[in-house]
Structure 1
Amino acid sequence: MRRDYFFDRWSLIASRRNSRGHDVAGAEASAGVTPGRWSEACDFCPGNEDRTPPSLLEFGGADPHAPAGGSSWRLRVFRNRFPILPGDADAAAAEAAAAPPLYRVRPSRGGHEVVVESARHDLTPGSFSTAEWADAFRAYRARIAALEAEPGTAWVEVFKNQGALAGASREHSHSQIVALPLVPAPMKVKCRQTAAAECGFCRVVASEMAGPRMVAVNDHFVAFCPFAPQWENEVWILALRHVARLDALGEAAGRSLARMVRDVASAVEQLTPCYNLMLFSGPPGRDFHLHLEIAPHSSGAVKAGFELATGFSVLRISPEESAARYRSLISGTGPN
């Protein structure tokens, strides 16, 4: 049994469960992307912009994959038509006024945006170029700043759902950005770790460097499999030096982050097409340690009854084995 670095949650490494028989078909076979650089049916492809809200941000550039007469952009941001936070403040206020003390209610105000990182329909995050990932992080920085400037924003979360098992509803690769009116409980724990006399994340970096769970390292970032993962083949990317926010990175560090995420995503996709990528950038005025977490998913590694009942994670592969897999996969990654 292994305990998480920061949270009171435990993981069990049970490699013998790999020997179990299965007669249930997996979902990975249908998790890929339809071939073709452009899809007429895809709302996110160039030329179909009228199917989405107007752009909040675009990065221009000649797009050889757009249809004749289509728009010329390489990245586009717009509001989500189906937001997590509906923002009906009047209804929430009325519900709160009528609710007994047991039931706590507050307005669900906030923003929800979509970032389409590439005009190409058939690219996955692991096949993005380093330049495309650098564009994505530039867009994240810009939209985080815009959402943080909105009254009532307490936390902005950037995440990517890749593949059906990870919750994606669209094939065309995209990220989402959600602005929340409160700091989520897990983020409060992380903020406390970074506000301590010695940053908990800095301690983790020092401990994991050159250890058996280390996956890759460059001048500014390190990737490793956490000691007590919640998901099989889970991998984290942490800033080597203590930096709180995405917008605090210099140009060289930004390029290092883009390259690291590209390499790790490419390795993850060789194990499974389905995963969640989550970016954690600190809120304004508070100390934090910039990091990303990637949670891979496969039909043979779902959280079932025992995990849901106990809060434990049961893993068929140790993080040390996962890290060895990733190191071998990343060693063959090209310089794109």
Structure 2
Amino acid sequence: MKEVRIDWINNDMVIVATDRAKRPKDNHLMEYEIQVNKEYEVECPFCRGNEKKTPKDTFKIEDENGWIVRSTNNKFPIVDDIPGDIYGIHEVMIDTYRHNGSFYNMSKVEFENLFKMYKDRYENLIKDTKIKYVSVFKNFLSKAGASLDHPHSQIISLSIIPPEIENEISIAKEYYDKNNSCIYLDVIDNEIKFEKRIVHNNDKFLVIVPYVTKYTGEIRVILKEKIRFEELNDIHIKELSSMFNKLFKNLYKVNGYSPFNLCIHTHPINIESEKYFNLHMHIYPRKYSFGGFELGSGIYVSSINPDEFAQKIRF
């Protein structure tokens, strides 16, 4: 008998069918993408020394050898600052000067520099009074939407609130109005009591494999405090950096050099939503694609046991 679960955060409907993980697959469908080995690539616009291939810096951190991380305006932006149906700024944030760098091999210090850059660019973009939301995300490898091998993240300010965020906000507010409690804090409490889906738990964050998600193998990072992204301090950044360093080392052991998306769900800028909405991050694995059933029905299928997957990557 199959089980239907509803994702508390976004109301996605998911059929749990773990036996489908045993389906036979052709070998070429199981191959990982090729790992990058070179630290420098002469034609790469994001490598240190090739700065003339990109617009000027909007932010950078340097050491005695040059920049370590840097951000620049995207040469091919999704949005622009010309008034119209949608308005915003689109920047590329280069995770590391190393062409062969990745979340799978970055050090804690490299992650610290990365999150400092995320925060700086976020703080800068929310100053524009026309902006309602700022999206921070990362596409890793071509299957996850990356167009270049060099590790990079992106940040986009928007004059609208994206539908995905509006949906999460609406569900959280409805839950709060009905129960007089925050759905994110209740998820945190429930997961800590259950224990089996916890990947990591500390004073600031809870890392879990969700009870249900349409993305098989998704990981969520939930901030326990009622603060916004721009209010994160050095302690938060150090905790995040240590967590990401350990998490992705464990993910590499289990999934190999696999594509993923990181999406940071921040608070809408001009909505007082702290009491019912928590800053959180989605790490979406992109090893698998949705089939016709999912795309045609809006009902998704999960083929993993979240308890077992959490145990494999726990730290």
Structure 2 length as normaliser, TM-score?
0.89
Equivalent pair of 1:268/1:296 in contact (CA under 8 Å)? no
Equivalent pair of 2:88/2:131 in contact (CA under 8 Å)? yes
CA distance in 1: counterparts of 2:252 and 2:141, whole angstroms: 10
Equivalent pair of 2:6/2:12 in contact (CA under 8 Å)? yes
One-letter amino acid matched to 1:295: Y
Structure 1 residue 193, shift from structure 2 partner: 5.0
CA distance in 1: counterparts of 2:78 and 2:246, whole angstroms: 30
Is residue 2:282 matched to residue 1:293?
yes
Structure 1 residue 281, shift from structure 2 partner: 2.1
Of residues 194, 198, 207, the one that matches 1:223 is 207
Of residues 89, 93, 101, the one that matches 1:115 is 93
Q: Which runs of 5+ in 1 are unaligned?
A: 64-71, 93-106, 331-336
Alignment CA distance shift 1:28-1:76 (3 Å): farther
TM alignment of 1:73-88, pairs within 5 A: 73-88=67-82
Of residues 61, 64, 79, the one that matches 1:62 is 64
Residue-pair matches, total: 300
Q: What secondary structure does 1:109 align onto?
A: coil
One-letter amino acid matched to 1:223: V
Equivalent pair of 1:33/1:172 in contact (CA under 8 Å)? no
Match of 1:14 in 2: 17
Q: Which runs of 5+ in 2 are unaligned?
A: none
When Rg is computed on C-alpha atoms for both structures, the one with the higher figure is 1
CA distance in 2: counterparts of 1:145 and 1:253, whole angstroms: 16
Deviates more, 1:41-50 or 1:262-271: 262-271
Of residues 38, 44, 57, the one that matches 2:46 is 44
Match of 1:169 in 2: 147
Equivalent pair of 2:12/2:213 in contact (CA under 8 Å)? no
One-letter amino acid matched to 1:156: V
Match of 1:308 in 2: 295
Tell me the C-alpha RMSD between the 2 structures.
1.8
One-letter amino acid matched to 2:71: V
Is residue 2:33 matched to residue 1:4?
no
One-letter amino acid matched to 2:89: G
CA distance in 2: counterparts of 1:129 and 1:58, whole angstroms: 18
Match of 2:251 in 1: 268
CA distance in 1: counterparts of 2:117 and 2:24, whole angstroms: 45
Match of 1:324 in 2: 311
Q: What secondary structure does 1:125 align onto?
A: coil
Of residues 209, 220, 223, the one that matches 1:239 is 223
One-letter amino acid matched to 1:81: K
Equivalent pair of 2:79/2:90 in contact (CA under 8 Å)? yes
One-letter amino acid matched to 1:146: N
Alignment CA distance shift 1:20-1:193 (3 Å): closer
CA distance in 2: counterparts of 1:109 and 1:141, whole angstroms: 21
Equivalent pair of 2:135/2:157 in contact (CA under 8 Å)? yes
One-letter amino acid matched to 1:82: F
The Cα offsets for residues 149-204 of structure 1, whole Å up to 9 and x where unpaired, read as: 12311100100111121111111111000111111122123334555231111111
Alignment CA distance shift 1:130-1:193 (3 Å): farther
The Cα offsets for residues 55-82 of structure 1, whole Å up to 9 and x where unpaired, read as: 001101123xxxxxxxx10010000111
Q: What secondary structure does 2:88 align onto?
A: coil
Equivalent pair of 1:157/1:280 in contact (CA under 8 Å)? yes
CA distance in 2: counterparts of 1:26 and 1:52, whole angstroms: 35
Alignment CA distance shift 1:202-1:193 (3 Å): farther
The Cα offsets for residues 214-259 of structure 1, whole Å up to 9 and x where unpaired, read as: 111122111101111111111001112x323122223222211121
Equivalent pair of 2:10/2:168 in contact (CA under 8 Å)? no
Structure 1 length as normaliser, TM-score?
0.84
